[in-house]
Structure 1
Amino acid sequence: MTLLQDSQPGRPSSDPRSPGRASGPRTAAEPAATRRRRSARRRKWPLSLWIASGFLALTALAALLASVISPYAPDAIDLGASLADPDANHLLGTDQSGRDLLSRVLHGAGPSLVAPLALLALASVVGIALGTVAAWHGGWVDALLSRVTDVMFAFPGLLFVILVVSVFGDGLTTAVVALALAYSPVVAKYTRSIALAERSKPYIDAYRVQGMSGTAICALRLVPNLAPQLLGYLVLMFGQVLMGMATLSYLGFGAQPPSSEWGLMVKEGQAALVQGALWPVIVPGTAIALVVVAFNIVGVRISDRLGARER
């Protein structure tokens, strides 16, 4: 009777050599293979990300080698070629003073990219410090810092920059510092939100039990663990910051002549529009737009990948 029951179809056999026992590893292996395929698809970069990353790399390389690859000096004046259309001598045309637009946009890539980078670095130092302190201490410290950042949010950033510039004078350095202080509350609020979630994890309590101070835990453990999410957020902010710096230069509060910063180039080329010349505005404006779009693509992809990793 026992033999008949063991030989019935549909019942698992007790013999380890039977085919029924071999199906277990296969079914366990199938989800693992599916996970590997899903992970491989997640790691695959889309074409738009390749294009955006390549464009940003070329832009950074052009900024570094501008003095080598530019056909003319950025401030070389040739009134005989004023507002010339693109040709063999001037691939992107010239401005009102006959300065080569290609040379100027290449030389302007440096200050146009370095200024937002310095701005984000300063805003990150202030914002990450405020957000981490607020999340770690909580209570009245968190409430006080939250109210301070709310007040700074309520005050328009452009008006704040104008106030700082009116006190300390215009210039690229003043604009960078003022705009960095205006962006610090944005970084602080984001840092606080992710630091609160990180602070509740068990490893924080483990370090406390070991006797580590709160400052050491935040500096050596908490903030480094927040770095990937902060990096994706800051990359996404870079395009917005670049637009902000270009706007300040356009309004006359940022870079000053004879700089070839892109926002200042748009301002200087505006007068050429009256004469029907579009290239002095189109060239720097297109450079700003392309860099902003490229940074947005890269930033969104980094944020999505970090979010998928968290899930």
Structure 2
Amino acid sequence: MTTVVSTLSPRPARPLGYWLASGFLGLVVAAALLAPVVAPYEPDAVDFSATLAPMSPGHPLGADQSGRDLLTRVLYGARTSLVGPLLLLAIASVLGVALGTLAAWHRGWVDTVVARLTDVMYAFPGLLFVVLIVAVFGNGMTTAIVALGLAYTPTIARYTRSVALGECAKPYIDAYRVQGMGGFAICVRHLVPNMARAIVGYLVVLFGEGLMSLATLSFLGFGAQPPSSDWGLMVKEGQPAIVQGAFLPVLVPGAAIALVVVSFNVIGVRLADRMGVRGA
């Protein structure tokens, strides 16, 4: 009897950290979507009799200086804290992928102009660039998202260019050219879709950084404005309570930010490894 030995290597098991991070993020997303249903109070419900209340059955995570329930505010704050990075990365992706693809396709002076443009953007520290935009157009979440989207554009453009250069060297590009297909059609219908896997993997890695950047702007007063329950703004508003010995108004939203960012980094690195994503 002949024994057939399989030469297929077993699929590597995902580490426990990946599953824990995925489960936690799934729980956070579900809680954000169901916040009006599962939150025990309204996010702006003030109760001065519960000012800086500790953890209790009535306030599982305590209350802030105005007696607002921290659990409720964290649940509602997850909405802006998760949607904000998605929007800024969407803006940066549209601009960055377009610039990176344009530079890789035309090369020559077009590549040089795009390279110089990204160099100029890198010459300014990202936060300083965002603050300059906010100073011109005013505070607010919309301005912060657009400003950060522009700040992330050079990073995505450079990464897209590096991926596009390798993709443009593949035979199918020449085959479509021989068939008479125009450059724009090739890029839109074939080149960009073929790069999507690598670009999406890279964006997942950037999501946690985008969340932290938005939280930083809200903490500095440039992003979300009161009475928003954005996590970065909650940390800022909870600072005065530290003097009174109450740490929950800062620890609760701060821990939420840290755990979500770490979870996205764990998942992002894992996905990047599986997709073969490399740094620009």
Quick check: TM above 0.5?
yes
| Offset, 1:114 | 0.5
* Greater RCO (CA < 8 Å, at least 6 residues apart): 2
Question: For residues 32-111 of structure 1, what are the structure 2 equivalents within 5 Å?
Answer: 33-34=6-7, 36-38=8-10, 40-41=11-12, 44-111=13-80
Aligned partner of 2:239 among 270, 275, 297: 270
Q: Give the aligned residue type for 2:53.
A: A
Output the amino acid matched with 1:140.
W
Partner of 1:300: 269
* Superposed CA offset, 1:153-196 (max 9, x none): 11111111111111111100000001100110000000000110
Q: CA deviation at 1:46?
A: 2.0
Q: CA RMSD of the aligned region, Å?
A: 1.3
Per-residue displacement from partner, 1:210-259 (whole Å, max 9, x unpaired)? 11111111111011011111111000000000000000000000000000
Q: Please tell me the residue identity of whatever aligns with 1:298.
A: I
- Give 1:37 shift: 2.7
Distance 1:223 1:290 in 2: 33
- The aligned residue for residue 212 of structure 1 is 181
What's the offset of the Cα at 1:302?
Answer: 0.6
Do structure 1's residue 188 and structure 2's residue 157 form an aligned pair?
Answer: yes
> Any runs of at least 4 consecutive aligned residues in structure 1 with deviations exceeding 6 A, and if so which?
none
Report how far residue 96 of structure 1 moved. Answer: 0.4
Aligned residue type for 2:95: V
Distance 1:276 1:94 in 2: 13
1:228 alignment partner in structure 2: 197
Gaps of 5+ in 1: 1-18
Which is higher, the Rg of structure 1 or of structure 2? 1
Deviation of the 1:49 alpha carbon: 1.2
> Could you tell me the TM-score, scaled by structure 1's length?
0.87
Q: The residue matched to 1:104 in structure 2 has which SS?
A: helix
Residue in 2 aligned with 1:126? 95
CA–CA separation in structure 1 for the residues paired with 2:260 and 2:201: 16
Aligned-pair distance for 1:45?
A: 2.2
CA distance in 2, matches of 1:297, 1:159: 28
CA distance in 2, matches of 1:189, 1:183: 10
Q: Distance in 1 between matches of 2:29 and 2:193?
A: 27
**Alignment partner, residue 165 of structure 1:** 134
Pick from 203, 206, 209: which aligns with 1:237?
206
Q: Which residue of 1 aligns with 2:148?
A: 179
Distance in 2 (CA, whole Å) between partners of 1:298 and 1:220 is 29
Give identity over the alignment, percent.
Answer: 65
Q: How many residues are treated as equivalent by the alignment?
A: 277
| C-alpha deviation, 1:281, in angstroms | 0.4
Write out per-residue CA displacement over residues 108-141 of structure 1, whole angstroms, 9 at most, x where no aligned residue.
0000110111000000000000000000000000
Give me the whole-angstrom Cα distance separating, in 2, the residues matched to 1:154 and 1:295: 28
Question: How much has 1:306 moved relative to structure 2?
Answer: 1.3
Where 2:9 maps in the other structure, the secondary structure is helix
Partners in 2 of 1:171 and 1:84 — Cα distance? 30
Matches within 5 A, 1:109-120: 109-120=78-89
Unaligned runs of 5+ in 2: none
SS of the equivalent of 1:37 reads coil
CA distance in 1, matches of 2:82, 2:276: 27
